A and B are shown apart, each in its own frame.
Chain A
Amino acid sequence: MRLRLLAATMAGVGIVGAGVLARQQPAPRVIHITAERFSFTPSEIAVRAGEEVELRIESEDTAHGFHLVDTEVSAVVPKRGKGEVSVRFKPEGPGRYVFECNRMCGAGHDFMRGVLIVTEPVDAESR
């Protein structure tokens, strides 16, 4: 009986704890990106400032790179069928940030670019 009570209490604490965590850390907005010679799709991504975003990037062919120009943000997108790479971030202020493939992928490598457009946060717009 005591054992059951303890288990029930622990389960309750676990559920409440998970709920608190869920409120404190809302799930990021997930955006799927496909990389292939020589483009990202979509290549234009709009997000809100303050919004936590997770880019999940998957390749349709060879390994590519994902690099936010003029930053240290860089990741290798694995080859087709080898999984995907996830890039999480929370933009603080509005702006336009170019991203590109930074892993040589063929004759048109330099065409492989896109833009991340960060707009005003929802709160700022409603004011």
Chain B
Amino acid sequence: MFKTTNRHHLALTAAAILLCPAVSLGQTAPTSDAAASHTGPLSGYMDFHFNKDEAQDGVVDFHRFVLLFNHSFSSRIRFVGELEIEHAFVEGLEESGEVELEQAYIDFLITRGFNLRAGMVLVPLGIINERHEPPVYNGVERPFVDTVIIPTTWFDAGAGLHGELRHGFRYRAYVMAPLNSLEFTAAEGIRHGPQKGSRANVRNVAFTGRLEYLGVRGLVLGAGGWRGKSTFALPRLDTTVSVGEVDARYRRKRLELRGQFARVGISDAANLNDAVGRLTGVSPNVAEGLQGFYGEAAYRIRDQGSPRDLVGFVRYENFDTQHRMPAGFLPLKEFDRDAWVFGVTYYPDPDVAVKVDYVRQRNQSPILKAPNSFNIGLGWWF
């Protein structure tokens, strides 16, 4: 039973707070394991993959081992941290793996519409960057667009506001450390540009924000942007990066649809290529425009609750990191790609996902062929 409390002018007389009795309300009562399932100050997710690219040996990779920490100083001041080990093994100066502090922020929850956040924060762009726990997306690997156009997981040091407005709208707006344009590449665009809050240069800052609409059950519409001058290492350049995206998710009964469109603009890319070419001896052939989109349809083939819960999906992606080149530079057509991803996700538990998919990838190069791949994944949240 819940007793009346008058703290903070609350005058709720609760008749009862209870798990619904199945008989009187004709509902399914929560099972004991569900009711007993709690997270404490420690939670996290893991991602374990088998990847077999065409004409290559298969690879087994413990891709992500992520621990989330949370602590409430009070009901209005909270800390969240996310520490990740990628590819299981980390060795100095090697590319075998990495340890990343993906999130470490404090929230000052002031009102529903106005809250402050500061620390290491996630850039609020796209479907996946802020919502990347393995059971919530289909496919063993994240979508290509959410890898080479929006470089998930994209995080950096920053501070800003977030809140929920009326009629189902909510927003995030942050000031963040800018990208380092010397790390941009032809194949993966801005993916290696984030400074990741590690002694990040903030002579210029970047601004990012997102507006979401969640006013209709099952529907989420989002639009986000990012803009920042990214040439602190070579101050004579004027490289400003702009990212814009729109996305949508819709779920009705057994069907779930997703779509996302993202575009990246890099100003002064020609001078950036020349400058990096002089420094390293190789021009990175960075484009001044990158673009990608995808659409996904998923259907819950078995919908009887875990362990009889199976989703089939198909996703089409089109992504080009050489979409628009600066004058004097030719696009590398092997980076104008598209992919069909077919697969299933089986849920033995709502927090455990067993994934199998096949990726049929193509590019526009007459010489270099994009490899198709077969993948198996096991991901879980706790």
Q: Which residues of A contact B (CB under 8 A)?
A: 28, 34, 37-39, 41-44, 52, 56, 59-63, 68-76, 78-93, 95, 97-98, 103-111, 113-115
* With known contacts A61-B350, A84-B28, A70–B10 Cβ distance under 8 A: yes
Taking a contact as CB atoms under 8 Å apart, the answer to whether A63 and B17 are in contact is: no
- Bound: A76/B34 CA distance, A: 9
Q: Which residues of B contact A110 (CB under 8 A)?
A: 78, 80, 107, 109, 115, 117
Determine if B58 is an interface residue (Cβ-Cβ < 8 Å). Answer: no
Taking a contact as CB atoms under 8 Å apart, the answer to whether A89 and B14 are in contact is: yes
Taking a contact as CB atoms under 8 Å apart, the answer to whether A82 and B15 are in contact is: no
Taking a contact as CB atoms under 8 Å apart, the answer to whether B350 and A108 are in contact is: no
CB distance from A32 to the nearest CB of B (A): 9
Number of B residues contacting the other chain (C-beta, 8 Å)?
71
Q: Which residues of B contact A61 (CB under 8 A)?
A: 135-136, 350
Determine if B122 is an interface residue (Cβ-Cβ < 8 Å). Answer: yes
- Bound: A52/B35 CA distance, A: 25
Taking a contact as CB atoms under 8 Å apart, the answer to whether A42 and B217 are in contact is: yes
Q: Mark B249-271, 1 if CB is under 8 A from A, else 0.
A: 00100000000000000000000
CB distance from B298 to the nearest CB of A (A): 13
- Bound: A108/B18 CA distance, A: 27
Q: List 8 A-B contacts (CB under 8 A).
A: A39-B214, A73-B2, A81-B309, A86-B18, A88-B17, A92-B13, A106-B136, A107-B133
Choose from B117, B135, B216, B305 the contact partner of A82 (Cβ within 8 Å).
Answer: B305
Determine if B166 is an interface residue (Cβ-Cβ < 8 Å). Answer: yes
Q: Which residues of A contact B29 (CB under 8 A)?
A: 83
CB distance from A41 to the nearest CB of B (A): 5
Determine if B103 is an interface residue (Cβ-Cβ < 8 Å). Answer: yes
Determine if B132 is an interface residue (Cβ-Cβ < 8 Å). Answer: yes
By beta carbon, the residue of chain A nearest B303 is A81
